[in-house]
Amino acid sequence: MIPNPTIFVDEPFLNDLIEQFGKNVKYDRIPEGSLNLGLSPKISVAQRAHQRDPSRHEKIEELLKCLRKKKTLAETRPSCPIGDPSVPYKCNVKKYVLETCMATKVFIPAKSDPEPHFKGLNIWISTKPIVAQDTLSIPAGMLCLLENFSNDKHRFSISGFTMLIALINGIGEKLDHTVLIDTFSAASINNERWKKSRDERFSSTKQYMMDFIKNPFEILERLGCVTSEKRKIEALYYIRSLGPEEGDLRKTISIFGYPIFIKAV
């Protein structure tokens, strides 16, 4: 069976996880023959194990196997129970999720004078999961995945927030080099006022919060980003943060994370 084409792989993140959870060595059994030219000539064949580096596909399969074995992999987008006063802090959240969904890739361009070698950022947005969820839970809402930011992967958090704030917070210092800084200058980590007040950092995002959760693509295009056609994908991702979405009055759970791989379906 031919595997689905891979759209994106975070190779450093994948290799790091293989080192942590799996096996980074493969062995091929290769037949080797020998000929004995004695009084009674004999031909013998034996198999020897030859060590090699695993392929990308083998690494992905090994990682999924290990995550399932360790019970740290979910295969549906996280939701939270209704009626629990500690929501979302008692969400039974697994940090790694393998999910098939409809998603749109969005390119956030660099400014005209970016840092060297920086062209911009790619994010994937899925506004809702394909699979309907239990009516006794606060359902999963928007999923946003930011490519190539896995160096921040250990900073997992659960809290009430908005997806727009999670995205800006996830981009971090790179924000200053994108077209988004023109609108969200107060969110820059280089803003002196932000260093004195956390609220100041997100003051410029407030007017966009509710509109973003309703139609993120319209907002991002208005700010100079480029959206692609919606498509069906399979993604393995690490959850950076999640919580009740303030932009829709906490009616859904928003999830922000980093993709390990994304495949076409």
Residue with the larger pLDDT of the pair 43 and 260: 260
Rounded distance between C-alpha atoms, residue 224 and residue 104, angstroms: 16
Which residue type, as a one-letter code, is found at position 104?
A: T
Q: What is the pLDDT of residue 85?
A: 46
The residue ranges of every structural domain in the chain are 58-264
Which residue type, as a one-letter code, is found at position 135?
A: T
Alpha helices in the chain (DSSP H): 11-21, 56-69, 163-171, 192-196, 198-201, 206-214, 216-222
Backbone angles phi, psi at 86, to 5 degrees: -90, 5
Max avg pLDDT among 10-14, 149-153, 154-158: 10-14
CA dihedral 12, 15, 16, 18 (to 10 degrees): 160
pLDDT in tens, 185-226: 766 666 665 454 555 556 667 778 889 999 999 999 999 999
pTM: 0.83
What average pLDDT does this structure show over 119-123? 94
Name the pLDDT band for 83 (thresholds 50, 70, 90). Answer: low
